[in-house]
Amino acid sequence: MRLEAVATGDSADRGVGSARESADRKAGPAEELYGPDGTADGTADGTADGGVDPPDLKGLLEQELQELAIELGEPAYRGRQLYSWIHERGVDEFSAMTDLPARFRSQLTSGFRVSKLRQTERRESAEGTAVKFLFELPGIGHVEAVLISDGDRRTACLSSQVGCPLDCQFCATGKMGFRRNLTAAQIVDQFLELGRYASERQERVTNVVMMGMGEPLLNYDNLVQALRIMRVEKGPYIGGRRITVSTAGYVPGIRRLADDDLNVGLAISLNATTDELRSQLMPINRKYPIAELLAAAADYFRRRGRRVTYEYVLMAGVTDSDEDARRLADLTRDGVCKINLIPYNELTPAPGSGSPEEYFRRPSDERVDKFREIVALRSPHTVTLRLSRGRDIDAACGQLYRELRR
Ligand code: SAH
């Protein structure tokens, strides 16, 4: 952590610019791709009114909290205590951190905060295999996270952005447009909330997939900071081997992730086998076509030693032909990867909207089986089919949000 003060706003007089800097990472390369109009309203992470929030300690690593304690004239172990309160005990009020000296607590209260997402709704699927959490960022919008149970596995599916700039035609989040990058603290906080729910049931979150709302690689700095926190196997956290980042195919982000030392898993939402169709369904393909995407994925495996997963959403009459199945197997033949087929989760269309999502349908079970069979016979790789979990609670990208909006 760098120790120079950052002379912006009121941070300079607190003399803890480094913590502020770490805690306030925000606008990312979405700007570079989509221009300033495609991005957030330019305010700091938490306020809709343009005010600047104090640095958020929930977005700092244990090491950074120790450095902060030293900067504030305390011994390093005060930082460890802070870490334990925030991440292990889930306490967000400095006043409740009773083993910290009063002077330190008041320093923290006047210069810092520990943010907490406001949970506005929680829905459990009828079969009990998925629980969906909806969080509100006042004045900005909602994000959701889903806890999925599968045998001993408890997978937290987390969001990285409020909305998304990528405009994939079949995706509910895409329909919202882009509102805001989540801060590292807000990504971590989704994990903590799901973890709390699990621990009330004597369970733990065992895996993380960044497959909720948003394109994680377009919020790179905040994503990576959140991953650095969650990949330390400590307290509620789970280690990098059980974390997967899913991308629609932002190639510069994949390259950057390969340069970083995080060693998290990578999933690529391929979803089509020709550039023509993929560019229609996922406009990002116009900038980073399939060949470039596959090359970046192969490079990720070479550099990080983690097998890439190709996600392929099956949409009736659009991506589910025999020919698609053969092309999918052929495209992904080289290299070391897995293929995960996802039957489309139909969106509840806004009544009378005539909007394109009404046209996307889930194929029949027979078609899904046939597709899987063709790919599995032709491909040297493992082919899995994502079982539908929480279909009744709309546990896919942005769907609960849509439902509430109507
Ligand atoms: N932007 C990232 C992560 C969010 S989307 C990405 O594109 O990977 C997570 C996954 O859900 C992607 O594979 C996407 O193709 C898929 N998806 C989106 N809407 C869906 C729907 N209605 N039914 C099934 N899968 C969907």
Asked if 72 and 64 count as a contact pair (C-beta separation under 8 A), the reply is no
Residue nearest to atom 22 of ligand 1 (CA): 345
Is 144 one of the catalytic residues? yes
Is 397 one of the catalytic residues? yes
Given 62, 64, 144, 346, the catalytic residue: 144
Distance of CA 187 from the midpoint of ligand 1 (Å): 18
Pairing of strands 130-137, 141-150: antiparallel
To which H or E segment does residue 133 belong? strand 130-137
pLDDT for residue 388:
63
Compute the distance between CA of residue 309 and CA of residue 326 in angstroms, rounded to an integer: 17
As given in the structure block, the two tokens for residue 281 are: 């369904």
Distance of CA 212 from the midpoint of ligand 1 (Å): 8
Radius of gyration over alpha carbons of the chain, in Å?
22
What's the angle, vertex CA 266, arms to CA 263 and CA 269, rounded to 5?
170
Asked if 217 and 21 count as a contact pair (C-beta separation under 8 A), the reply is no
pLDDT for residue 386:
81
Asked if 168 and 319 count as a contact pair (C-beta separation under 8 A), the reply is no
pLDDT for residue 347:
80
Average pLDDT in the chain: 85
Q: Which three-class secondary structure state does DSSP give residue 163?
A: strand
Task: Identify which of 112, 82, 86 has the alpha carbon closest to the alpha carbon of residue 99.
Answer: 82
Question: Could you tell me if the CB of 401 is within 6 A of ligand 1?
Answer: no
As given in the structure block, the two tokens for residue 254 are: 């994949």
What's the angle, vertex CA 378, arms to CA 375 and CA 379, rounded to 5?
75
Whole-structure pTM value: 0.88
Place of tokens 């400095």: 94
pLDDT for residue 36:
35
pLDDT for residue 398:
47
Distance of alpha carbon 170 from the chain centroid: 18
For the chain, 406 residues long, the average pLDDT of each consecutive 10-residue run is 32 41 45 39 46 91 98 97 97 96 96 96 86 94 92 95 95 91 98 96 96 97 98 94 97 97 95 98 98 97 94 97 98 93 81 63 96 97 81 56 46
pLDDT for residue 125:
84
Asked if 360 and 402 count as a contact pair (C-beta separation under 8 A), the reply is no
As given in the structure block, the two tokens for residue 35 are: 């221009």
Q: Within 10 A of 172 (CB to CB), how many other CB atoms are there?
A: 22
Question: Could you tell me if the CB of 293 is within 6 A of ligand 1?
Answer: no
Question: Could you tell me if the CB of 114 is within 6 A of ligand 1?
Answer: no
pLDDT for residue 44:
40
Given 157, 164, 171, 397, the catalytic residue: 397
Please name the residues in contact with 54: beta carbons below 8 A apart, sequence gap of 6 or more: 111, 112, 113
Q: Which long-range contacts (CB under 8 A, 24 or more apart) does 232-237 make?
A: 232/61, 232/62, 234/62, 234/87, 235/83, 235/84, 235/87, 235/88, 236/87, 236/88, 236/191, 236/192, 236/195, 236/199, 236/204, 236/205, 237/87, 237/191
Distance of CA 158 from the midpoint of ligand 1 (Å): 12
Buried b (16+ CB within 10 A) or exposed e, 282-295: bbbbeebbbeebbe
Q: Is 301 left (phi over 0), alpha (psi -120 to 50) or beta?
A: alpha
Amino acid 173 reads T
Asked if 231 and 243 count as a contact pair (C-beta separation under 8 A), the reply is yes
Q: What's the DSSP call for residue 126?
A: T
Distance of CA 38 from the midpoint of ligand 1 (Å): 20
Task: Identify which of 276, 30, 331 has the alpha carbon closest to the alpha carbon of residue 167.
Answer: 30
